Amino acid sequence: MQLTVWTYEGPPHIGAMRVATAMSGLHYVLHSPQGDTYADLLFTMIERRAARPPVTYTTFQAQDLGRDTAAIFKDAVAAAYERFRPQAMIVGASCTAELIQDDPGGLAKALALPIPVIPLELPAYQKKENWGASETLYRLVRALSGPPPTADAPPRGEGRRPLCNILGPTALGFRHRDDLIEIRKILDGLGIDVNVVVPLGATPADLGRLGEADFNVVLYPEIARAAAQYLEKTFRQPFVDTVPIGVNATIRFVEAVAALAGVDPAPTLAGAPSRLPWYSRSVDSTYLTGKRVFIFGDATHALAAARIAATELGFKVVGLGTYTREFAREVRAEAALHGIEGLICDDYLDVEAAIQASQAELVLGTQMERHIAKRLGIPCAVISAPIHVQDFPARHSPQMGFEGANVLFDTFVHPLMMGLEEHLLGMFREDTEFHDGVGPSHLGGLPRAIAEATVQAPMESPPTPAPAPILLDAAVASTAASWAPEAEKELRKIPFFVRGKARSNTEKFARERALPLITVETLYDAKAHFGR
């Protein structure tokens, strides 16, 4: 184990909570010590749900470890059933309770409750949150979807529109609620009905109808691919796992779904324009061409962001990684297409070092990368969980579908535009005409009394703040020359999107010449040297 300030994923029981919280009529009994109820805040304070998760914690204390903790668990299961009367229950242990090996599944089975009770075995010290959500959904589908069809069962699909299930949206998911709205619109436009959405909004009884669909749509492979594979094997239901994030991917998604359903995709594709392709072809988009972007997040969103950045916006992907180790192969394969090595890690310090080394001009990542980019002075947009409350907007803000492509267009482009504006403001902050102490130029016709008062008591310009220190790479910090204050100030005048390159080139120039101090002259000598 490793102590850390931040973590990209919680333990697997958090993934199970995401599935349970997304559903109705399902209750989760979690064998856990006092203090594990912190997880409720993820849903009520971060996601801003109106109700707490349907979870009962045993909350045993240290003094209980010398007694029968198994009895505590059995009492909690019985009390939860009597209080909530759910259609089904899932039971399991948190990472701490896993160590005492009380066997929640066996204990719950001994109670002989009149409802399905599905045990979860979630190894907290080997697996993480997304795997826990995937395993929980798989176990629920396997237990509640019913027996496979018999050989003499009547064929599906006669006399009705094509029917599909949507698999994957959960509670605490990044824009899952809004993505689902967009996908429903696309399917309806294709003439396809939705049978069941699992787990978001489903009940255990709904899972019993999964086998009625013609095929399945997997929106988030980390969560739903295992369940889709089981349904394919058991009910002979094919599935589409093309993630419709970005214009090109949405087109491929529509075509794949239409092929399974036997419908014509042309009307849907013709009637769903996006502004992203238009902007990419416009004159203004030349500002974006070749921008260096570093991408990190869960596999679904990181892979989609890399393809959009490279093929739809003309960025250069200089870093691509994920913390979802189960999808390392896919991420490495995509990174190879961009001529880079995929970063598979869950240590934010390693991610920060990779961002610095890439000399990126834009970071697309999680809330952790947002903090990292802020320290490094690089624009950043959040495109993946883990996320904070501001990434659960009350407004409709999807990532998927053609409207999601519009949202992503804003998400990717605005940080660069605002970053340029901030650079220009900083560049002219000390100008004699535009500094902070000068009144607005559009208010030139001041009343005489104000003008005379201004002459008698001229406004003093505020003191110029000291420039922020220049961050040096750890590998060269011990041998790098120090920066003179005047040189630091001059470096800040270089646009942010090439400042990192200018800094590294100047430090290399100084090291090669054994210069102990980087002055303004050194900065310009280095510029001339590397500009040849």
Q: Are 120 and 90 in contact (CB under 8 A)?
A: yes
Of 284, 350, 436, 473, the active-site residue reads 284
Q: Can you say whether residue 172 is alpha, beta or left, with left for phi > 0 and alpha for psi between -120 and 50 degrees?
A: left
Give the separation between CA 201 and CA 24, rounded to whole angstroms. Answer: 6
DSSP symbol at 245: -
Q: Are 165 and 192 in contact (CB under 8 A)?
A: no
Residue 64 annotated in active site: no
Report which secondary-structure segment, H or E, holds 173: none
Instruction: State the alpha helices, DSSP H only, in 236-297.
Output: 247-261, 266-270, 275-281
Give the separation between CA 299 and CA 308, rounded to whole angstroms. Answer: 14
Backbone dihedral angles phi then psi of residue 18, each to the nearest 5 degrees: -65, -40
In DSSP notation, 6-71 reads --SS--HHHHHHHHHHHSSSEEEEEE-BTTGGGGHHIIIIIS--SS--SEEE--B-GGGGGS-HHH
CA–chain centroid gap for 354, Å, is 18
Within 8 A by CB and 6+ apart from 359, the residues are 292, 318, 500, 501, 504
Within 8 A by CB and 6+ apart from 398, the residues are 175, 178, 179, 181, 182, 404, 407
Within 8 A by CB and 6+ apart from 320, the residues are 294, 295, 296, 302, 306, 331, 334, 335, 338, 340, 342, 343
Q: Are 47 and 39 in contact (CB under 8 A)?
A: no
Q: Can you say whether residue 321 is alpha, beta or left, with left for phi > 0 and alpha for psi between -120 and 50 degrees?
A: beta
- Provide Rg for the chain, Cα atoms: 28
**36 among the known binding-site residues?**
yes
**167 among the known binding-site residues?**
no
Backbone dihedral angles phi then psi of residue 292, each to the nearest 5 degrees: -85, 120
Q: Are 314 and 285 in contact (CB under 8 A)?
A: yes
Beta-ladder partners of 57:
30
**346 among the known binding-site residues?**
no
Give the separation between CA 514 and CA 42, rounded to whole angstroms. Answer: 53
Hey, which residues are catalytic here?
A: 284
Binding-site members for substrate are 419-420
Q: Which residues are annotated as a binding site?
A: 36, 419-420
